Amino acid sequence: MAQYLAAIHHPDNYDSSVEGEAMQRESPSTQMSNQLTRRDFAIRTAGFGLAGFNLAWGLAPAAALAQQASRSETSPAIADQYSLVDPELLPVLKQFPAVDLSLEMAVKFRQLPGAPPLAAPAPQPVERHIPGPPGAPEVRVWVVDPAPSEKGKPLLLHMHGGGFMMIGPGWMPQIQGIATDCHCVVVSVDYRLAPETRYPGSLEDNYAALKWVHAHAAELGIDRSRIAVGGESAGGTHAANLAIHARDRNKEDVPICFQLLIYPALDDRTGSSHPAPSAVGRFMWNASANRLAWSSLLGVPAGSSKVPVAAVPARVASVAGLPPAWIGVGALDLFVEEDMEYARRLVHAGVATELLVVRGAFHGFDLLVPDAEASQQFSASWKSALRKAFATGKAV
C-alpha cells in the first residue's frame, strides 16, 4: 500500500508549475513532519477525498473562484448544522472538525500508508500491470478473487475514491470485503491522478481496464456478461463516466451489466454555478473542495463554459441505454441534489434505477461510523443490489 500511495502518477497533458515542483521536492522526513497519523488521514479523507480543500492549483484566477464561492453560499444559514446530523453519527463527526489543506498537506496525505490488506482467510489482492491507453503507461490493477477455482463468476470493476487526486486509505480491505460479501471477482484500477493527469487520462485508464477484463474473462474465471462497474465518491464519478463511455463506444463490444454509484460526484457545477443549499455539504466535503477537485481533474474552472461536456455525467445530453444503476447518498451530502437528479434522468430514460437517500447522513458517513445503524443499512442496500444484479442481470 505504502508504495503506491507514495507514488506520484505519470504526468499527462500537464504543464509543470510550482505545485508540481513542490510534489517532487518533498523528502520523506518533511512528508511526515506534520504529525498526521494514519487514523487522521483515514478519517479526514474517509476513502473519498479531502475535507475542506484549500489547494491553489492555479487553474482559475483567485478572484473568479472567490466570486463563485460568494454565489454558492447565499442560502439562509442554519443556526446549528449539527442539529441535522443523525445522532448516532454525531459524536464521531464532532471529533474530527473540517480542516483546510495546503498543497503540501495534500502531498503528505498521498504518502501516508494506507490500511494493509486483511489477512487470510480473506481473499488476497494480486497486483497486475496491464496495457494502458495508446501512448500512455501501463495501468496497475489489483485483482481479488474469493474463489480462484470457480469459473463463470461475476466481476466488479472498481474505481477508488479520493477526490480525483488521492487514494482512499481503506482501499485494500474495502475491495476484499466486496469480493467476499458479494462473491465476485473485484478488479480495482489504480488510475492516474489529477492534477498531474487531466481528463480524459483517468477515464482512458479505466476503459483500458474494462477492455482487459473482457478480453481475459477465461483467465480471470469470470462471466463477461456479468461485469459491473462501481465506486465511491470520485470512484462513483469515474464509474458513471465509464458506463457512458462504454455505451458510446459500443462497437468495441464491452458491455456492462450494472453501475454501482456510492455518493458519486456527478456535476462539476455544484458549489460554483449551481449554489449549494446551506443544509448540505457542510461536513467532510464542501463547495470549495468540490470546485477545486473538479478543476484539478478538468484543467479548467469547474462550473465554467470551458468544461468538456463528455467529462461530467450530469452534462451528458442523454443517459438512455446506460446499465441499471444503484445510487446512494446522504441527505446532508453536497452531492445529494445532483445524485437525485441523475437518478430522475435515468428513470425517465427507462433505465432501471434504485435511489437511496439517508436521513441525517453526510459524505462518507458509512466509512466514518461503520457500526451505525444508518451505515449498516446503507452498506447492506448496495451489496444487496450488486448481488441481485449479478444474479439476475446480463449485459447485452
Catalytic residue IDs:
233, 333, 363
Of residues 266, 261, 268, 264, the one with CA closest to residue 289? 268
Element (H, E) at 392: helix 373-392
Q: Determine phi and psi for 280, rounding to 5 degrees.
A: -125, 160
Parallel, antiparallel or unpaired: strands 126-130 and 258-262: unpaired
Residue pair 281/333 in contact by the 8 Å Cβ criterion: yes
Instruction: Specify the length of the chain in residues.
Output: 396
How many CB atoms lie under 10 A from the CB of residue 48? 28
| Residue 115 in grid coordinates | 490500511
Place of cell 476513502: 47
Q: What span, in angstroms and rounded, lies between the C-alpha atoms of 356 and 336?
A: 10
Parallel, antiparallel or unpaired: strands 222-232 and 185-190: unpaired
| Residue 245 in grid coordinates | 463511455
Of residues 308, 276, 279, the one with CA closest to residue 294? 308
Amino acid at 315: R
Q: What span, in angstroms and rounded, lies between the C-alpha atoms of 343 and 351?
A: 9
3-state secondary structure of 114: coil
Element (H, E) at 275: none
Amino acid at 10: H
